[in-house]
Amino acid sequence: MNSLLRRQIRKYLTEDLRSDKNLAQFLDAVERSYSNFDEQFTMQQRAMTISSDELFEANKQLKNEAKAQKEVIDKLKHVIETLKFYNLPEQQNTDNIDLDGSKLVDFIDNQTKEIVEINKQRETLLGELAHQNQELSDYAHMVSHDLKSPLRSIDTLTAWLKDDYSDKIDDQGQQSLNLIRNSVEKMDTLINGILEYSTIGKNTVEVYDVDLNKLIDDILGIIYIPDTIEIKKQELPIIKGDKYRLQQLFQNIISNAVTYNDKERGLIEIGVSDKKDFFEFYIKDNGKGIEETYFQKIFETFQKLENNQESTGIGLSIVKKIVDLYGGEIWLTSELKIGTTFFFTLKKKYNGTA
């Protein structure tokens, strides 16, 4: 029998009852009841422990859910603060928006519908803009063709006058005819430049490997390089792009470096450095230099620093537009009477879009 139970019972029994065998069955039943109580008490303690653990876990989960809901509500509040600036109902107080239940859902639903409608209007406007751009491009081609026709006629007529009446036209007349032909050539170059500028970025560009070493060699074979100017070129990479656009880019900068070099021994250096996602190119010359005031102006259309008859004022604006098309940047450093260095970056993985 349990020692505590035995001691308590013996305390209240007489000496005769303590040794009475008839009580053995009764005492045995009492002992079983006591033991059963201990077992039940132990089970209750165990059940309470399990329940406490479960409540702790449940409470922890509820806290996490409450925290997540609070984050959602905070985000919704932020969305509403943003939407305050866009077409809120006049009767609604923008400083005290009701965040309660269905009103919040209705509010966000209405704003979402308005945003969807705005996006549809945006897509429509973009489609109309693309159509207008195509019409402008077609118009530019048509106008350039119409302008070139009379220019060709003027050039042909002046050539006939020089050939057929060379013995009847004095030196001053010959100079006038040469001036006319030079002006016609300049106008033709200008029209071509405008057409090139207007079409950059509007047509689908086919992207392929372009060997810049061969490209530069081709350019140097096309443009006139005086014997007084030396060209130095580093080993250049093969990049993804369109050969025609890349030729325009390099040729315009190199041509400017040649045209505006006033030194007895001119030097033009072409190089590149690797900048992770980009290649950074430079074209350096020892020419006249450019004042810092004009560093941005020279990239604007029709801007010229000198009244040079050979310049159209559109070459560097074409350069800037091509660099933008390739998702790069262009800038320069220069010092008067010392020289100029143009820097520009081109994406290594160009895919036809900026």
The mean of the pLDDT values for the chain is 76
- Quote the number of domains for the chain: 3
> Do 214 and 342 belong together in one domain?
yes
Tell me the β-bridge partners of 285. 268, 340
- Residue 221: is its pLDDT beyond 80? yes
The pLDDT assigned to 90 comes to: 47
- Residue 346: is its pLDDT beyond 90? yes
> Do 216 and 335 belong together in one domain?
yes
Question: pLDDT band at 65, cuts 50/70/90?
Answer: confident
Distance CA(118)–CA(113), nearest Å, equals 9
> Do 343 and 212 belong together in one domain?
yes
pLDDT tens-place string over residues 17-40: 666 666 666 666 666 666 655 566
Of 199, 234, 258, the last residue of a domain is 199
Whether 352 is covered by a domain: the verdict is: no
Distance CA(184)–CA(196), nearest Å, equals 18
3-state secondary structure of 197: helix
Of 140, 172, 199, the last residue of a domain is 199
CATH number of 160's domain = 1.10.287
Residues 289-311: what's their mean pLDDT?
A: 73
Of 142, 175, 199, the last residue of a domain is 199
Q: What is the CA radius of gyration of the chain?
A: 45
Which percentage of the chain shows pLDDT scores above 90? 22
Question: Residue 140 burial by CB count (10 A; 0-12/13-18/19+): exposed, middle or buried?
Answer: middle
Distance CA(10)–CA(17), nearest Å, equals 9
Residues 253-282: what's their mean pLDDT?
A: 93
Q: pTM for the whole thing?
A: 0.52
Return the DSSP state at 227: T
Exposure letters 238-275 (e unless 16+ CB within 10 A, then b):
ebbbbbebbbbbbbbbbbbbbbbbeeeebbbbbebeee
> Do 231 and 259 belong together in one domain?
yes
Whether 83 is covered by a domain: the verdict is: no
Contacts with 74 (C-beta within 8 Å, 6 or more apart), sequence order: none
Instruction: Answer positive or negative: Cα dihedral of 78, 82, 86, 89.
Output: positive
The pLDDT assigned to 281 comes to: 97
The pLDDT assigned to 349 comes to: 79
- Residue 124: is its pLDDT beyond 70? yes
* Residue type at position 120: K
* Residue type at position 339: G
* Nearest one of 281, 293, 289 to 319, comparing CA atoms: 281
Range of the domain at 28: 3-75
Q: Quick one: which H or E segment has residue 240?
A: strand 238-241
